[in-house]
């Protein structure tokens, strides 16, 4: 299956998967991982001024050598110093990234609108033709354990392994697969890892067999029962 591409309002298409550049890469040299990810087909990168690693991301992109018009790079503005405009701040980021095009990120907007109600937010975005980005989606599998989703995914994994004769190294692949199948509410997924093997695994989910609609529904309903919130904890207050 080719990578799921999500249409943008300007007619271009953006891949569902983007490489996150914080988590293990905060203030770190991200050049090697970015270059490897780019080389292996990840052309969508999520960056932010707060991550303080833009130069190394620019270096990684240069190292991989993909044509700049192929790439999508998101950035987020940190606090604006007095007297500086949003445009000037973006241009600084652009320079650090060695002149790549930027797709502005609407995080402050989406977070303000969230107010603890995920579905209304998604409906709001849909109504206004705004795409959402997703991060932290693997937390119930990677950073927190014992939630209701784990047995569900284990059973899906068993079904797929039996039917295909293939072994899946990680159930997180199933979440990624499900993400791609949500054609009615497409979101970009940002995933990260300090390890190229995992980045390849993220890409490989594109060739996993489809989950059934019933499996998708159970994942959605079960996953909604317990939120392991790592970011934006104020939502639960
Ligand atoms: N806008 C915002 O406020 C915001 C906030 C947070 C994140 N983000 C963006 O979203 C990106 C992704 O963030 P995330 O928190 O969602 O990261 P993630 O993709 O869930 O990865 C987090 C960590 O989980 C580990 N991991 C990944 N797959 C695993 C597996 N199968 N088993 C065990 N561990 C696994 C990785 O460790 P290893 O390094 O050991 O592989 C990685 O460091 C960030 O880099 C950033 O670009 C944006």
Query: For the segment 192-218, what is each residue's pLDDT rounded down to a tens digit?
Result: 988 889 998 898 888 889 999 999 999
Give me the pLDDT at residue 111, please: 40
Ligand 1 proximity of 191 Cβ (cutoff 6 Å)? yes
Q: What is the mean pLDDT of residues 71-90?
A: 86
- Over residues 130-144, mean pLDDT: 86
Mean pLDDT of 66-95: 87
Cβ atoms of 200 and 36 within 8 Å: the answer is no
Q: Cβ distance 132 to 110 under 8 Å?
A: yes
Rounded CA-CA distance 58/75 in Å is 12
190 pocket-lining for ligand 1 (C-beta < 6 Å):
yes
In the predicted structure, residue 106 carries a pLDDT above the cut 50:
no
Residue pair 208/173 in contact (Cβ under 8 Å)? The answer is yes
Q: Atom 33, ligand 1: which residue's CA is nearest?
A: 142
Report pLDDT for 42.
Answer: 93
109 or 89, which is more confident?
Answer: 89
What gap in Å lies between CA 218 and CA 221, rounded to an integer? 5
Low-confidence winner among 83-87, 118-122, 163-167, 233-237 (lowest mean pLDDT)? 118-122
Instruction: Tell me which residue has its CA closest to atom 26 in ligand 1.
Output: 142
Which pLDDT band holds residue 187 (cuts at 50, 70, 90)? confident
Is the pTM higher than 0.75?
yes
E strand or H helix at 188: strand 187-191
171 contacts 1 by C-beta, under 8 angstroms? no
Q: What is the pLDDT of residue 66?
A: 94
Looking at residue 165, its pLDDT comes to: 93
Query: How crowded is the C-beta side of 212, counted as CA atoms within 13 Å?
Result: 10
Residue 55 contacts by C-beta under 8 Å, 6 or more apart in sequence? 96
Choosing from 18, 23, 51 the residue with most ligand 1 atoms within 8 A of its CB, the one to mutate for a pocket test is 23
| pLDDT at 119 > cutoff 60 | no
Domains and CATH numbers, the chain: 5-144+182-208 (3.20.20.100)
Q: How far apart are CA 77 and CA 231, in angstroms?
A: 18
CA dihedral 72, 78, 83, 85 (to 10 degrees): 20
Percent helix / strand / coil, the chain, rounded to 5:
45, 10, 40
pLDDT at residue 26, as a whole number: 94
How many angstroms is it from 142 CA to the middle of ligand 1? 8
- The model's pLDDT over 8-67, given as tens digits with 9 standing for 90+, comes to 888 888 888 999 999 889 999 999 999 999 999 999 999 999 999 999 999 999 999 999
30 CA distance to ligand 1 middle (Å) = 14
**Helix residue ranges per DSSP H, the chain:** 31-39, 54-64, 86-96, 107-114, 118-127, 139-142, 149-164, 172-181, 196-204, 213-223
Q: Looking at ligand 1, which residue's alpha carbon is closest to its atom 29? A: 142
Residue 115 has pLDDT above 60, yes or no: no
Say what the pLDDT of residue 102 is: 55
From CA 153, how far away is CA 159, in angstroms rounded? 10
Mean pLDDT in residue range 229-234: 81
Query: Cβ(20) to ligand 1 under 6 A?
Result: yes
- Pocket of ligand 1 contains residue 24 by CB under 6 Å: yes
Least confident of 1-5, 88-92, 149-153: 1-5
- Residue 183 pairs in a beta bridge with none
- The tokens of 49 are what? 């001024």
Which pLDDT score is estimated for 101? 53
């Amino acid at each position: 299956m080719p990578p799921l591409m999500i249409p943008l309002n300007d007619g271009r298409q953006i891949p569902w998967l983007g490489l996150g550049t914080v988590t293990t890469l905060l203030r770190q040299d991200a050049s090697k991982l970015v270059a490897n990810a780019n080389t292996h087909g990840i052309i969508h990168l999520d960056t932010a001024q707060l991550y303080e690693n833009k130069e190394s991301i620019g270096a990684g992109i240069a190292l991989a050598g993909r044509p700049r018009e192929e790439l999508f790079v998101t950035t987020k503005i940190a606090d604006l110093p007095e007297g500086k405009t949003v445009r000037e701040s973006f241009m600084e980021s652009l320079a650090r990234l060695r002149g790549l095009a930027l797709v502005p990120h609407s995080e402050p907007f989406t977070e303000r609108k969230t107010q603890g109600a995920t579905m209304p937010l998604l409906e709001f975005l849909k109504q206004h033709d705004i795409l959402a980005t997703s991060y932290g989606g693997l937390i119930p599998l990677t950073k927190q354990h014992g939630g209701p989703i784990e047995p569900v995914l284990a059973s899906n994994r068993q079904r797929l392994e039996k039917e295909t004769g293939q072994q899946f190294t990680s159930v997180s692949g199933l979440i990624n697969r499900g993400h791609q199948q949500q054609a009615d509410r497409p979101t970009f997924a940002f995933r990260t890892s300090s390890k190229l093997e995992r980045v390849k695994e993220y890409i490989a989910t594109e060739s996993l067999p489809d989950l059934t609609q019933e499996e998708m529904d159970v994942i959605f309903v079960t996953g909604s029962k317990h939120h392991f919130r790592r970011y934006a904890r104020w939502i639960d207050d």
